[in-house]
Structure 1
Amino acid sequence: MNSSTATTVFLPIALVVIMLGLGLSLTVADFTRVARYPRATVIALGCQILVLPALCLGLVLLFDLDPALAVGMMLLAASPGGTTANLFSHLARGDVALNITLTAINSILAVVTLPIVVNLALDGFMDGEDAIGLQPDKMLQVFAIVLVPVAIGMLIRRRAPEFAARLNQPVRIASIVVLVSVIAVAVFQERGNVIDYVQSVGIVALIFCLASLTVGYYVPRAFQVPRGQAVASSFEIGIHNSTLAITIALSPALLDSAEMAIPAAVYGVLMFLPGGVLAYVMNKRRETPAEIGT
């Protein structure tokens, strides 16, 4: 995947619009709601921060990926859940309020955890100058990419709630249109290499998605988290913000590596299949009295 105007200019714009849209849907209560779901929140965040990177590392080593692709997979694993997780959770009758809370908290924690995971991956898989990754000054850029648009969106909602409500839907539509357009242009430019990209990391990305969704659901259930919250956790953990990972990988000021963006690009397409199937199955499944009460 070669860097182009579509990926280096419009992709960050798409990410900013997406994060702004997230901010328009958030309030301070979404951060404090963790007190209502302490067990579910702690378990989900533990899976996201600790289990997924370890799981991804195991897959990377098992499939012996090229160093740059290995780092790209670890970058994806460290990326927080995306706003698409909220939609899947809604379709699957999950606890969307918990999804919003996890997305909000995850987006903040990722400013710290993502550079740590990526730098460890660079140190372990890359050699020489290629191992120089996200330094403190670059972490501030990650902070700006992720949190500033969210903060602006929240400020707009707090100061002008009616305007934010009117703006919310157009921003969501705009983010989808811009993102799909950017991906379409990038895929068209790389149409000769798409098959190679899928072959190189497609199986790993698909297995990682399935494993993430599984871990996100069954680990909370093992700790007696109610089913609706476990569904929310599953999608929050299994549907990563691939746009953020692609932007960080391609940005000349950050990793500046087209190859490291390939896993997130492939994952961003493949995740809709297992995510959609799981949402359909969960939607059709009826809760038992025991599941409702636990």
Structure 2
Amino acid sequence: MFTAVLMPVALGIIMLGLGLSLTLADFKRVIVYPRAVIIGLVCQMLLLPVVCALVAHAFSLPPELAVGLMLLSASPGGATANLFSHLARGDVALNITLTAVNSALTLFTLPLIINLSMVHFMGEGRAVPMQFSKVIQVMAIVLVPVSLGMLVRARRPGVALRLDKPIRLMSAVFLLAIIAAAVYQERANMSAFFRQVGPATLAFNLASMAVGYCVPLLVRLPKRQAVAIGMEIGIHNGMLAITIALSPTLLANPTMAIPPAIYSLIMYFTAAAFGYFVSRGLTSEQDAPELSTSPTPEKVS
């Protein structure tokens, strides 16, 4: 019951909350400020899966746990990345833009990375055929609630503002519940899983942030944009990865949900440490000006 019904509902609420923070202007910035967005997407779509595969091989992860880690690498960032970027004085508008574009591209990249990972780690013939019906399911999980949230934000900004806090609270509660469910289903193996995948998950988390932060600096993007990309690439939507792993109509594999579950527990601590490190000496006025943000809805009494 929890896996089949409540989990999609929980993820829908989280993605609705993401949509409440997005506007069409966030997508239009891709045209106005293409360089930073392209660098962020290259890090997310190309470099990160390669780094993740190398980490999985370096730690000799069992095939199912390796695929679970790869599933995490294919998941986009979200509201948490935006929050940590703000606290670290990053370019939050760039975070929002990357979240918007990544969420749209996930409809195509997630099935591709899942299948390539299953073939690579589990052998030929183990890929999950992503028929049209499964693509529609991913769209329903990701695109529909995000679009609904954006519609509410556009038509009723006051309502979007009032919903923001309760949706964030519900999202946090649901995330903890999903992690608990994933851990409970594999409780007999959890000790072994933590020993096997815990260090690899931590290494992947740190490598993600390093790639997202260092690559932009190497191509001479402003530091605030590097901080934003580092947070966006380093903080993934573990809820989405867990849902796809556990969903009876998608992967239906609790073992694959373990890396995202562990990741969702440790990323808050590593993101806080990363934010403190990169924000030292960085003021809100330093570096290039932030991408212009979409108007914040006025508070309605």
Normalised by the size of structure 2, how large is the TM-score?
Answer: 0.89
- 1:146 is aligned with what amino acid? V
Change in CA separation of 1:290 and 1:218 when aligned onto 2, cut-off 3 Å: farther
- 2:227 is aligned with what amino acid? V
Q: How far is the alpha carbon of 1:281 from its aligned partner?
A: 2.4
How many angstroms apart in 1 are the aligned matches of 2:189 and 2:230?
A: 32
Change in CA separation of 1:266 and 1:7 when aligned onto 2, cut-off 3 Å: farther
CA deviation vs aligned residue, 1:4-23 (integer Å, no higher than 9, x gap): x4444333222111100111
Instruction: Tell whether 2:56 aligns with 1:29.
Output: no
Counterpart in the other structure of 1:141: 137
- 1:122 is aligned with what amino acid? M
Q: How far is the alpha carbon of 1:60 from its aligned partner?
A: 1.5
Report if aligned partners of 1:76, 1:245 keep a CA contact under 8 Å in 2.
yes
Counterpart in the other structure of 1:75: 71
Residues matched between the structures, number: 289
**Corresponding residue SS for 2:134:** helix
How many angstroms apart in 1 are the aligned matches of 2:212 and 2:17?
A: 25
Counterpart in the other structure of 1:247: 243
Residue 286 of structure 1, aligned match among 259, 281, 286: 281
**Corresponding residue SS for 1:65:** coil
Counterpart in the other structure of 1:122: 118
Residue 127 of structure 2, aligned match among 131, 151, 155: 131
How many angstroms apart in 1 are the aligned matches of 2:186 and 2:120?
A: 29
How many angstroms apart in 1 are the aligned matches of 2:286 and 2:221?
A: 9
Q: How far is the alpha carbon of 1:95 from its aligned partner?
A: 0.8
Residue 194 of structure 1, aligned match among 167, 187, 190: 190
Residue 101 of structure 1, aligned match among 81, 97, 115: 97
Taking every aligned residue pair, what percent have the same amino acid on both sides?
54
How many angstroms apart in 1 are the aligned matches of 2:285 and 2:165?
A: 37
Counterpart in the other structure of 1:59: 55
Residue 9 of structure 1, aligned match among 5, 10, 23: 5
Report if aligned partners of 1:11, 1:179 keep a CA contact under 8 Å in 2.
no
Counterpart in the other structure of 1:204: 200
Counterpart in the other structure of 2:153: 157
Q: How far is the alpha carbon of 1:36 from its aligned partner?
A: 3.7
Root mean square deviation, CA, Å:
2.1
Moved more, 15-24 or 59-68: 59-68
How many angstroms apart in 2 are the aligned matches of 1:290 and 1:154?
A: 30
- 1:12 is aligned with what amino acid? P
Report if aligned partners of 2:119, 2:125 keep a CA contact under 8 Å in 1.
no
For structure 2, list consecutive stretches of 5 or more residues without a partner in the other structure.
Answer: 290-301
How many angstroms apart in 2 are the aligned matches of 1:271 and 1:77?
A: 13
Change in CA separation of 1:17 and 1:87 when aligned onto 2, cut-off 3 Å: same
Q: How far is the alpha carbon of 1:185 from its aligned partner?
A: 4.8
Residue 224 of structure 1, aligned match among 217, 220, 223: 220
How many angstroms apart in 2 are the aligned matches of 1:289 and 1:117?
A: 37
CA deviation vs aligned residue, 1:258-286 (integer Å, no higher than 9, x gap): 11111111111121221111122234x11
Report if aligned partners of 1:73, 1:263 keep a CA contact under 8 Å in 2.
yes
Residue 87 of structure 1, aligned match among 66, 83, 88: 83
Map residues 168-183 of structure 1 onto 2, 5 A cutoff: 168-183=164-179
For structure 1, list consecutive stretches of 5 or more residues without a partner in the other structure.
Answer: none
Q: How far is the alpha carbon of 1:63 from its aligned partner?
A: 2.0
- 2:83 is aligned with what amino acid? L
How many angstroms apart in 2 are the aligned matches of 1:244 and 1:204?
A: 20
CA deviation vs aligned residue, 1:95-146 (integer Å, no higher than 9, x gap): 1111111001000011101111111111222247643343332122111101
Residue 111 of structure 1, aligned match among 100, 107, 110: 107
Report if aligned partners of 1:118, 1:134 keep a CA contact under 8 Å in 2.
no
Q: How far is the alpha carbon of 1:61 from its aligned partner?
A: 1.8
How many angstroms apart in 1 are the aligned matches of 2:219 and 2:7?
A: 39
Q: How far is the alpha carbon of 1:176 from its aligned partner?
A: 1.5
How many angstroms apart in 1 are the aligned matches of 2:37 and 2:92?
A: 13
